[in-house]
């Protein structure tokens, strides 16, 4: 598994920050609206071009996202930056359209069991919700993204049926969602599983624009990124400081860390347009906000050639 950009066009990788949605969503302590918006504005200033900002779900179901419209109103919009929000149904789509989002995202689990746990409905019913709100996005000229959750495995069922994955992608494409995210919701992805899933989708839907969303539950999130790069995938979702995790997946830990991902991409010769130093400052502030140690490694170690004076360093004796 290796990757080296072959041309200038091949070098750019789009990093989508999901921390203020996927990361904060699992937190029980409410994060103030102004703090969420400030973090998004600072991410934009750091060069992040794609952000999943919030979620227009029921405030009763996810209290952390009750301020979605207020957060969107406080974001300082910048040309070339795509602001996406999660939308579960037609009511959420109308709210998202009123907030002038750039893209609406929907997710459906490829596992029937996880779909019931996460959405309280079977796959077919979840896809029916998407079919209902997709015309609303088209009406307002808003882009659509379809995410396949548990695309690489389910903690309740094991390997998911490739037929389920393709069925969901087909429904998304039929209703105008050309952007497809494959979600490693439970951290069960491995390079071979990623390869066969991406190749199966490309064989059936060559026009699909695939993004990969990995969790680092078993420590190989960035190995999966390297495999995705070798497959030609040029869009990845991640969370600042590695915050996040699926509340309906036993043992699931956070998303791959945005700073660690950007560091990897940069040392591999890829371009992201992101100022890594500025991004790391945001991540450290998020860690301070959460009042606990978060999984991100770059914010602990710094750049590879960050040198230390030998003075004062403990030395071996004897």
State yes or no: pLDDT of 249 exceeds 60: no
Q: How confident is the model at residue 261 (pLDDT cuts 50, 70, 90)?
A: very high
State yes or no: pLDDT of 307 exceeds 80: no
Q: What is the pLDDT of residue 10?
A: 85
Contact 198, 259 (CB under 8 A): no
State yes or no: pLDDT of 50 exceeds 60: yes
Q: What is the pLDDT of residue 233?
A: 98
Residues with Cβ within 8 Å of residue 8, at least 6 apart in sequence: none
Which one from 106, 246, 257, 270 is the annotated catalytic residue?
246
- Percent of the chain beyond pLDDT 90? 81
Q: What is the pLDDT of residue 6?
A: 65
Contact 71, 40 (CB under 8 A): yes
Q: What is the pLDDT of residue 247?
A: 53
If you average pLDDT over residues 1-12, what whole number do you get?
73
Q: What is the pLDDT of residue 52?
A: 98
**Nearest CA-CA partner of 90 in 132, 143, 122, 57:** 132
Tell me if residue 246 is catalytic. Answer: yes
**What average pLDDT does the structure give for the chain?**
93
What are the chain's domains?
8-301 (3.20.20.70)
Q: Express each pLDDT in 88-131 by its tens digit.
A: 999 999 999 999 999 999 999 999 888 887 777 899 999 999 99
Structure tokens, 61: 């179901």
Residues with Cβ within 8 Å of residue 130, at least 6 apart in sequence: 106, 108, 146, 171, 172, 175, 177
Q: What is the pLDDT of residue 127?
A: 95
If you average pLDDT over residues 217-227, what whole number do you get?
96
Q: How confident is the model at residue 1 (pLDDT cuts 50, 70, 90)?
A: low
State yes or no: pLDDT of 252 exceeds 60: no
Q: What is the pLDDT of residue 264?
A: 98
State yes or no: pLDDT of 242 exceeds 90: yes
Q: What is the pLDDT of residue 120?
A: 74
């Amino acid at each position: 598994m290796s990757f080296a950009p072959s041309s200038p066009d091949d070098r750019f990788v789009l990093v989508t920050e999901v921390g203020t949605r996927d990361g904060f969503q699992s937190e029980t302590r409410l994060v103030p609206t102004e703090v969420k918006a400030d973090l998004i504005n600072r991410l934009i200033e750091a060069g992040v071009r794609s952000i999943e900002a919030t979620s227009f779900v029921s405030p009763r179901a996810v209290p952390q996202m009750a301020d979605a419209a207020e957060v969107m109103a406080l974001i300082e919009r910048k040309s070339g930056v795509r602001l996406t929000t999660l939308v579960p149904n037609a009511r959420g789509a109308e709210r998202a359209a009123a907030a002038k989002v750039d893209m609406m995202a929907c997710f459906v689990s490829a596992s029937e069991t996880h779909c019931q746990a996460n959405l309280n409905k079977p796959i077919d019913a979840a896809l029916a919700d998407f079919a209902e709100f997709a015309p609303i996005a088209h009406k307002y000229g808003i882009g659509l993204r379809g995410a396949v959750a548990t695309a690489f495995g389910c903690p309740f069922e094991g390997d998911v049926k490739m037929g389920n994955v393709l069925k969901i992608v087909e429904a998304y494409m039929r209703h105008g969602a050309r952007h497809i995210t494959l979600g490693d919701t439970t951290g069960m992805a491995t390079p071979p599983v990623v390869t066969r899933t991406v190749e199966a989708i490309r064989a059936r839907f060559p026009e699909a624009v695939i993004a990969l969303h990995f969790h680092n539950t078993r420590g190989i999130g960035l190995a999966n990124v390297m495999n995705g790069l070798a497959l030609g995938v040029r869009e990845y979702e991640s969370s600042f400081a590695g915050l996040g995790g699926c509340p309906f997946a036993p043992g699931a830990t956070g998303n791959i860390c945005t700073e660690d991902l950007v560091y990897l991409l940069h040392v591999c010769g890829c371009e992201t347009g992101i100022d890594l130093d500025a991004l790391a400052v945001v991540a450290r502030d998020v860690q301070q906000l959460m009042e606990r140690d978060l999984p991100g490694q770059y914010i602990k170690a710094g750049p590879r050639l960050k040198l230390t004076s030998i003075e004062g360093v403990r030395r071996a004796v004897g």
